[in-house]
Amino acid sequence: MTDAPGTRLTCGSIVLDTERRLLTCRDGPHHLTPKESQLLEAFLRHQGQVLSRQFLMKLVWDTDFVQDTRTLEVHVHWLRQKIESGTGAPHMIHTVRGVGYVFRPDGAPPEGLATPSDRQ
């Protein structure tokens, strides 16, 4: 991932303008909701790291409540629809059962459980 000057994060064909909440990828531009933008930014900044549901709920929704993470699951689904081509198994955002998600832009399946610090 490259951190372009200003508010652009780039990873392969994915470009996220965090200020304008504009995602550009293979199939063109997409305007993201504030939460979609924050979630994608977290994935881009922590590529290859397993992000727990608790970490994502705190980071994006500013809550410690993780009894119901359906909101998170729906937002991940929406991002997958925008950045992943075709149907079938996820290619970039992988579910790590019982833990959370990992963003692997190369499409490789998740390996290990490297997690970001809880202080981030």
Q: What are phi and psi of 68, to 5 degrees?
A: -130, 110
pLDDT in tens, 27-41: 899 999 999 999 999
Query: Mean of the pLDDT values across residues 52-62?
Result: 97
The answer to whether the beta carbons of residues 18 and 37 sit under 8 Å apart is: yes
Torsion, Cα of 21, 25, 29, 31 (10° steps) = -30
Q: Which amino acid is at 14?
A: I
Please give the CATH number for the structural domain made up of 2-103: 1.10.10.10
Asked if pLDDT for residue 112 goes beyond 60, the answer is no
pLDDT in tens, 66-92: 889 999 999 999 999 999 876 667 889
